[in-house]
Each structure stands twice: as C-alpha cells, then as structure tokens.
C-alpha cells in the first residue's frame, strides 16, 4: 500500500492556526495523512493560549515548536490558513486555503471557535482523502509538468548542460560553448527546450545569454522520483510473500 500523503499546514508565524491544525490532524487523521506545519516568518514560540486550550481539550502539545518552510519534507498537499501566505517553493499535488481568521489576542472564546473550525476542516480533509477525492503524491510525481521536464532531459547534451550549470551559479553561453565543445546553434536548440520545460532560467547581458538552473524545478523533479520510489517499494513489500519456516525433518 502507498504511503500516506504528507500535508503541510502553513501560515505566516506558525504560532497559532497552523499549530492547531497539525495537532488536530495528528489526533484525528493520522491513519490517512502525515501532518506538518511551518511558517513563512516563524515566531519564536507557539501561541501560549492556543497551547493551553489544546492541552485542556486533551491534545498532546509536547512536540509543538515553530518551524520554517525549509524544515518541511517534500509534501503532497499544502493548506494555508487564510493569511495571504504564498508558498512558491513548496511543490505539491493539491493546494487550498482555509480562510481562517487569526484568533490571537481575541480571548479564549475566539480561540476555541478557531479550534472547532479547524477540527471540522481536518475531519473533512481526512474524509476526502479516504474517498480518494484529492490528487495523490503519485499523481504529482507523474504530472504533466514533470513529464515535460523529464522529456527535456532525455538527451545526452541537455544532461551535460544541466550538470555543468549545477556546478556553477550562472554561466554565459560563451562559457558553456567552451566547456561542452558544441556549436552555438546546438546550444541554442537545447537551451530552448530546457527553458521551455522550466529547468533553466535565462537573461541577456550584452551580446550573450546567461543561464542558470531553476533550483525549485530541479528539486520538484527529485521529489517526484523519490515519491515514485517510495510507492514502488511499498507495493513491492506488500506483494512479497512471507518467508516460510523450514520444514521439520525426521530422524
């Protein structure tokens, strides 16, 4: 069976709503998803009122701490809390915004109402995952954009270009021509394909084009391959028959 989808709950400070969502998801939906949370500009600590009310309601708050987006693993779903957060560096199969008002500083009743609203949304999300109504990590891995990028890499010269760029922050076309020993027309042809696939970014300076890798796209392809590998291993483990004990021999 495939691994559970990884869901990241994201807000600006990772102090209140996203922490509540991660906590409730661990308690209510651990059978169908892996819950994480992070912030684009994390606070030093989670909101103490949120922690207190979650503890009063019987939730385990001991593992909670604020986290940056860089601490997240590759994720399959991104849920933003409603604070206008944009997460361009988090490729995923599904993204939605819950539009929740921040209850910070508005008293216990507002915080309890937020906890109640998030609980309902977590239960709804878990139900949609169980009913297979949301894209899976496998679908993300083999999506159209990833397929186009893999096709663009299916050429020895393009792989050599990507490998060369990976070792340098940026290179102009003249440097690439010297290092790869190919003609300018050949380089232009391959660069057109790599740029169209979103793997390489370009800019013009003087008479030369300058190129650099799109790190976000390359990382997304790596995550896609990792996801496919994890699914394949899980399926292999499920199909593999249990080892039989050796038969007893008589004397």
Active site residues: 11, 83, 87
In angstroms, the first-to-last Cα distance of the chain is: 43
- Give the span between the Cα atoms of 119 and 240, in whole angstroms: 38
- Give the span between the Cα atoms of 158 and 123, in whole angstroms: 46
- Give the span between the Cα atoms of 18 and 39, in whole angstroms: 8
- Give the span between the Cα atoms of 175 and 170, in whole angstroms: 10
Where helices occur in the chain by DSSP H, the ranges are 17-28, 48-56, 108-130, 137-141, 144-152, 156-166, 173-180, 184-196, 215-239
- Give the span between the Cα atoms of 224 and 245, in whole angstroms: 38
Neighbours of 175 (CB within 10 A): 15
Residue 143: half-sphere exposure toward Cβ, Cα within 13 Å: 20
Closest CA to 226 of 154, 166, 137, 93: 137
Look-up: residue for tokens 């679908």?
139
């Amino acid at each position: 069976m495939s691994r559970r989808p990884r869901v990241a709950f994201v807000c600006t400070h990772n102090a209140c709503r996203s922490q509540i969502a991660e906590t409730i998801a661990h308690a209510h939906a651990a059978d169908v998803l892996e819950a994480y949370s992070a912030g684009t500009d994390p606070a030093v600590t989670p909101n103490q009122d949120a922690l207190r009310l979650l503890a009063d309601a019987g939730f385990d708050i001991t593992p909670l701490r604020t986290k940056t987006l860089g601490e997240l693993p590759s994720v399959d779903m991104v849920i933003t809390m409603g604070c206008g957060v944009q997460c361009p560096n988090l490729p995923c199969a599904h993204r939605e915004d819950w539009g929740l008002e921040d209850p910070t500083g508005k008293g216990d009743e507002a915080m309890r109402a937020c906890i109640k609203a998030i609980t309902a949304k977590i239960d709804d999300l878990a139900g949609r995952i169980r009913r297979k109504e949301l894209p899976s990590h496998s679908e993300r891995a083999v999506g159209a954009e990833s397929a186009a990028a893999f096709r663009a890499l299916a050429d020895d010269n393009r792989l050599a270009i990507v490998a060369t760029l990976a070792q340098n922050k940026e290179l102009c076309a003249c440097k690439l021509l010297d290092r790869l020993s190919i003609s300018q027309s050949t380089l232009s042809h391959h660069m057109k394909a790599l740029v169209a696939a979103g793997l390489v970014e370009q800019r013009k300076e003087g008479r030369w084009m300058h190129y650099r890798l799109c790190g976000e796209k390359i990382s997304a392809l790596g995550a896609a391959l990792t996801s496919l590998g994890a699914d394949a291993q899980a399926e292999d483990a499920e199909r593999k028959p249990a080892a039989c004990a050796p038969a007893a021999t008589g004397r």
